[in-house]
Structure 1
Amino acid sequence: MTGAGQRPPSSPVCSLAEVEGHDMQQELEVARWRRAERERLRADRMAMAVAARQDWAAALMRHLSAGLSGWLGDPKGRVISGYWPIKGEADLRPWLTELHAAGAIIALPVVVTKASPLVFRHWYPGMVMERGDWNIPVPPASAKVLHPDLSLAPLVGWDRANYRLGYGGGYFDRTLAAASPRPFVVGVGLQSAELATVFPQWHDIPMSVIVTDEGVQSNSLSRSGAPR
């Protein structure tokens, strides 16, 4: 589904759609395509006006609030991980602050070791932060490490199979692969960032649900049941 004035989902290049089986040429073409789509979608997002980005974040927070009880139940005492917004991402910190006030335990992801799973540290509004990877503010090393029940994952692009196109570092997929039990993962992004497919790779892990400014767009609870 696309909104008024939005482009339809991007289609794969013909050569990718026609290739059968796995070979090095296919792998290289997929990698180039995914890199180009990341750059295009990030440029589109960065070009958004401030007011448009604020409207996007507000819509996401409404849809997240509406869906939360169905995904998680009562958030009181449950661990919910968010993110510190960078590179034009939607700022959902007001929603995390509301959840904190409602008794939820909030966590933020931290890169402790390069090319390794993320660690989730306890966060609360007003906490004194440190500078982490990519110069992103993160909770200090003294903060308690938590295991999220529900985790937000910012999307650069997404498809109807619940797959996420991220920044290419693989951190979130490594984290989900190593997590036991795996959290309920909510991918959040722009409706206009929908792709016909992200050409998921062997290491890509689908989201439990995808939410955009137009609401819940993809939901496959059988892949990752809501934590209870």
Structure 2
Amino acid sequence: MSNIPSKPALRRILRQERKNFVANLPLFALERSFSAIPSMIKDHLAKANCIGLYAPYGDEAPALRYAKLLKEEDIATALPTVNGDDLVFRQWRFGDDVSAGPYGIMEPATEQPIITPDILIVPLLGFDAKGSRLGQGGGYYDRYLAREPNCAVIGLAWSVQQVAEIPTEPHDRKMHAIITEQSVIFFDENG
């Protein structure tokens, strides 16, 4: 018998741990976290035609801090929009307008062209040393990644979000890397 909590139980635990962690970070540490793209990741990002980011919700790791840096490097970026039960990525650059989508998460204007990123920087609730990712539970990124098997996946999370093991299902895609406020971890593609 496994001691791994179910996905719903693990989500509740990790949401609370993340909330507590961010609330207790000193202001200077919060402001400095994710303020620079780690050099070992920057080389990978520079080769991409487009990088999909996300607009953080609540206490998620602040992915949009990278948007300004990528714009300075003239690297195209996109943000997800909810389209029914799926995600699509629309062209978006730092400084472009956004508005609240169906879940209150900031999205680019629907007039922006749909674009397919080479690399996605994804939000998550938890991750493990094998590169498994636990999302919010809606399956949006799972469905998107099933349609885009060649898209590289990089997680962005607070270090407190790492757990011993994430329960996985056959459709779950492993991440290629994770960036935390403390380190970058690359994962073996074979898991």
TM-score by length of 2: 0.87
Question: 1:217 aligns to what SS in structure 2?
Answer: strand
1:58-69 correspondence to structure 2 within 5 Å:
58-62=32-36, 64-69=37-42
**CA deviation map 1:72-104 (0-9, x unaligned):** 4446xx211111110211223232112112111
1:139-218 correspondence to structure 2 within 5 Å:
139-180=108-149, 182-218=150-186
Whole-Å separation in 2 of the counterparts to 1:162 and 1:53: 29
Question: 1:185 aligns to what SS in structure 2?
Answer: strand
Tell me how far 1:54 sits from its aligned partner.
6.5
Q: CA RMSD in A?
A: 2.3
Tell me how far 1:111 sits from its aligned partner.
0.8
Q: Where does residue 41 of structure 1 map in the other structure?
A: 14
**CA deviation map 1:102-142 (0-9, x unaligned):** 1111100111112x3x1000112332223212021211111
Q: 2:2 aligns with which of 8, 16, 21?
A: 16
Aligned partners of 1:208 and 1:220 also within 8 Å: yes
Farther-moved stretch of structure 1 (127-136 vs 147-156)? 127-136
Q: 1:124 aligns with which of 82, 93, 115?
A: 93
Aligned residues with identical type, % of pairs: 27
**CA deviation map 1:138-192 (0-9, x unaligned):** 1111101111011101121101110001101111111111115x22111111222
Aligned partners of 1:161 and 1:218 also within 8 Å: no
- Give ranges in structure 1 of 5+ residues lacking alignment: 1-14, 18-29, 224-228
How many aligned positions are there? 190
Structure 1 residue 103 corresponds to structure 2 residue 74 = yes
Tell me how far 1:61 sits from its aligned partner.
4.2
Question: 2:83 aligns to what SS in structure 1?
Answer: coil
